[in-house]
Structure 1
Amino acid sequence: MQGSLNAVDRMVNITVQGRDYDIECRLLSPEKTDKDLIVFLHEGLGSVALWRDWPEQLCALANCRGLVFSRYGYGQSTPRPADEKWPVSYMHTQAEHFLPAVLAALGLDNEKPVFYGHSDGSSIALLYAAMYPERTKAIAVAAPHIFVEDITIASIAKAREAYLHTDLPQKFARYHQNPDLTFWAWNDIWLNPEFKLWNIEKYLPDIRCPVLAIQGKDDEYGTLDQIQGIHRVVSNTKLCIIDDCRHSPHKDQPEQLNAALINFITSLNPIQADNK
């Protein structure tokens, strides 16, 4: 890691569809206003704290600003009510309404960030890039879901057993205000039979920005059909397939992932010889 970054933790209030939410945010080197902004979108059970220090590492190496935040229902953000069930379209709502509201609350709505998504966060990044192409510079999507596979459902069912019969709830309590509400919102909707029809492939042709689609060869939550499906439809897509890597490249192979991301981000900003 190249030095330390200025990290600013904030809670911001947003209003989405008539309801108020407090959202936990961490801004990395916000003073670097002339540098790219990377927005990190966590997985289905993630939060600001669960990223650990990897966003800081990447932003330092890439000389970028960063925004890390916990979505509604995660981390220290507003928990979901116990009687609220997430709909099949919950990721669409995050992309269309919540993500723009968070950026606006932080005064970042006029920027064109680079988005890095992981798992559910990748699907949200893909949807956002399709819905708001003019507001997206590029997206890097790790272990994305564009449709539901049997391997995904099987692994989520195993996660359910682990949550019921191991110390996983105690571990999650370190990272979420209410770990039970967080876990069951995600687990219940993915195991709902209606969710088997969830599919975002029809949105992919609307993506105009460069895409880096990343997946571990040993991903237990999806096959390479996910990133290959993106590559077939979105012409400006580069594939990054990582050996000896499961569902979380930033944990399993951070050096390889960082190298791929730095090359990708650098390609977005070719060096101008006249500025040397």
Structure 2
Amino acid sequence: MNLIIDKYTLHFSRDTNSLPPDNTTIIFLHDSLGCVELWRDFPKSIESICNCNVLSYDRHGYGKSSPFTVIQRNNDYLLKEAMILGKILDQLSLSRVVLFGHSDGGSIALLAAALFPEKITGIITEGAHVFVEKKTIKGIKEAVRLFKNTNLKERLFKYHGEKTDAVFKMWTETWLSPSYQSWNIEKYLPKIKCPSLIIQGENDEYGTLEQVYSIVEKTTGESNSLILKNIGHTPHKENPQIVIEKVNQFLRKIGISC
């Protein structure tokens, strides 16, 4: 299923016309190298435990959506993605939404909750960033090495095709640029009024627990952290059982029947 947003085609995981209108919709927001397919069966696992619509989409430039039309990102690209998400909510007439965002998707979820508090019922993030850290830069530099010297590019090509180089370049060159080192979205956190579950692995290769502490401390709504031992940047892949269990508890807590 595709939608046209700002003249670009975005690929969605399902027919958006078939969403039961009275249900809460959980929207999954992928990471900096992700797409609908790379969520694998995790959204369906969440759908199986709750009475919610489940939806994910490829952001502009990723997966099966339209390719990038620029060769360089501005430092506010995540804010722009949150505003695009707002347009998606309007076009689909969604007013009761839970966002589940991983990495870049987590940052987008935080920004969207700040921008559209009347539409977002709750947010769940994994490995979200609200500022740039030395550990983030170190992790991205290692990803660049792997892209050059391993089959990482080949594996990503399966999902992004001819867009693969652009997807990788947009992520790494943006975050490694000198101008991006001052990027910070903490000023938006007090505007987040909905409940949130902030998940991070202790061994996250792209950020420290300072990201979690900042989010939990600064958001206005009730915010709880889930710190997972021996887990890296992708908790929903590394330990899906505990993530599904905690998501179930969170949804019940905010009044969504499971």
TM above 0.5, yes or no, is: yes
Task: Name the residue aligned to 1:14.
Answer: 5
Distance 1:86 1:269, change over 3 A: same
Contact 1:47 / 1:175 at 8 angstroms: preserved in 2? yes
Contact 2:86 / 2:116 at 8 angstroms: preserved in 1? no
Contact 2:50 / 2:256 at 8 angstroms: preserved in 1? no
Determine which of 195, 198, 216 is the counterpart of 2:201. Answer: 216
Aligned pairs (5 A) from 1:74-89:
74-81=62-69, 84-89=71-76
Helix, strand or coil: the match of 2:35?
coil
CA deviation after TM superposition for structure 1 residue 35, in Å: 2.5
Number of residue pairs aligned between Structure 1 and Structure 2: 254
Helix, strand or coil: the match of 1:56?
helix
Determine which of 176, 179, 182 is the counterpart of 2:167. Answer: 182
Determine which of 249, 252, 275 is the counterpart of 2:238. Answer: 252
Q: Which runs of 5+ in 1 are unaligned?
A: 1-9, 272-276
Determine which of 159, 162, 166 is the counterpart of 2:146. Answer: 162
Task: Name the residue aligned to 2:106.
Answer: 122
CA deviation after TM superposition for structure 1 residue 31, in Å: 4.5
Task: Write the letter of the residue equivalent to 2:238.
Answer: D
Distance 1:270 1:24, change over 3 A: closer
CA distance in 1, matches of 2:19, 2:212: 34
Task: Name the residue aligned to 1:23.
Answer: 10
CA distance in 1, matches of 2:153, 2:88: 28
Aligned pairs (5 A) from 1:126-145:
126-145=110-129
Contact 2:79 / 2:111 at 8 angstroms: preserved in 1? yes
State the structure with more CA Rg: 1
Helix, strand or coil: the match of 1:66?
strand
Cα-Cα RMSD: 1.6
Task: Name the residue aligned to 2:43.
Answer: 55
Contact 2:51 / 2:256 at 8 angstroms: preserved in 1? no
CA distance in 1, matches of 2:19, 2:199: 30
Bigger relative contact order, structure 1 or 2 (CA pairs below 8 A, ≥6 apart): 2
CA distance in 2, matches of 1:100, 1:237: 22
Q: TM-score, normalised by structure 2?
A: 0.94
Q: Which runs of 5+ in 2 are unaligned?
A: none
Task: Name the residue aligned to 1:232.
Answer: 217
Contact 2:78 / 2:108 at 8 angstroms: preserved in 1? yes
Task: Name the residue aligned to 1:5.
Answer: none
- Percent identity between the two aligned chains: 36
